[in-house]
Amino acid sequence: MDQLNSYADNRLINGCIYCGGPEETRDHVPSRVFLDPPFPENLPVVWACGDCNGGFSLDEEYVACLIEAVVAGSADPARIRRAGVASILSRSPALRARLDAARTVEDGQTRFGIEPDRVRNVLLKLARGHAAYELSQPCRHEPTTVCWWPLGLMADEERDSFESGHIIQTLGEVGSRALQRVLVTQLVLRAPDGQTATVGLLVSDWVDVQDYRYRYQAIDDGGEVRVKIVIGEYLASEITWSGMAG
């Protein structure tokens, strides 16, 4: 990945980006449990306190294992395609037992019950990391919405709108990484009388951390921060904070 420098005013995001505590450690966003080796270089990093840095790892392992178990239809390490996740399940019998207990088979369909609090906790943590790194926006307060769903279950129209680049109407924090990633495109508009006008558009696109493993899009839409995350091309999510300073 390209490591972009942030030239934004970062005074607002001093301290642990999750709780505001001391800057004790550097935390990767996303955590490596969602990626496969060789890991991308220059992964985004944010400041975290020691408690927060370690405090999410069990839930993150749970989410990574849940996704692969759903894809495989089983929590048996021998059937899991990602080696890192198979090894977590091999050394964590309790986690495997928990996933096995949540598995049901009905009419030949395998389903896993999920622990929504843990999924939410992880997505919110990841979204806070992306908002801080990409947008220089501290989003420590409660979000307005946290939604997630299987990517494959989206209707075509919903999927198109979810996948599209976002056209920026108002500019985000000047110098933030998200603005440096912006693609500038030009659109030629033609009126019925043949007159043309060229307008510039700013489009903020997805950041692909690793193909098939993890991508995200962070949008500062003047008053609303919106982060979309797709993990394993399976779990799609959108986390928003309204009422932000524009």
Nearer to Zn ion, 49 or 126 (CB): 49
Torsion angle in degrees (nearest 10) through CA of 220, 53, 117, 165:
30
Residue-level length of the chain? 246
Nearer to Zn ion, 69 or 139 (CB): 139
Which region among 47-55, 93-101, 125-133, 164-172 touches Zn ion (by CB under 5 A)? 47-55
Nearer to Zn ion, 18 or 241 (CB): 18
**Which three-class secondary structure string do you get for 113-148?**
CCCHHHHHHHHHHHHHHHHHHHHCCCCCCCCCEEEE
Nearest distance from C-beta of residue 11 to Zn ion, angstroms: 18
Nearest distance from C-beta of residue 54 to Zn ion, angstroms: 10
Site for Zn ion in 167-196 (CB under 5 A): none
Site for Zn ion in 126-145 (CB under 5 A): none
Phi, psi of 13 (to 5 degrees): -105, 30
Nearest distance from C-beta of residue 197 to Zn ion, angstroms: 50
DSSP state letters, 20-81: S----EEEESS-GGGS-SSPPSS--EEEE-HHHHHHTHHHHHHHHHHHHHHHHTS--GGG-S
Phi, psi of 156 (to 5 degrees): -50, -45
Nearer to Zn ion, 19 or 102 (CB): 19
Rule CB under 5 A: is residue 47 a binding residue for Zn ion? no
Nearer to Zn ion, 46 or 70 (CB): 46
Nearest distance from C-beta of residue 102 to Zn ion, angstroms: 29
The site that binds Zn ion (CB under 5 A) totals a number of residues, namely 6
Site for Zn ion in 7-46 (CB under 5 A): 16, 18-19, 21
Nearest distance from C-beta of residue 210 to Zn ion, angstroms: 26
Residue with tokens 């048996």: 76
Nearest distance from C-beta of residue 22 to Zn ion, angstroms: 8
Task: Identify the helix (H) or strand (E) that includes residue 92.
Answer: none
Distance CA 159, CA 206 (A): 14
Nearest to 163 by CA among 225, 224, 233: 233
**Residues 181 and 8 sit within 8 Å (Cβ to Cβ):** no
Write the interaction track for Zn ion spanning residues 71-100; mark x where CB under 5 A is met and - where it is not.
Answer: ------------------------------
Nearer to Zn ion, 20 or 150 (CB): 20
Nearest distance from C-beta of residue 242 to Zn ion, angstroms: 24
Q: Please identify which residue in 13, 35, 46, 49 interacts with Zn ion, judged by CB under 5 A.
A: 49
Contact positions vs Zn ion (CB under 5 A):
16, 18-19, 21, 49, 52
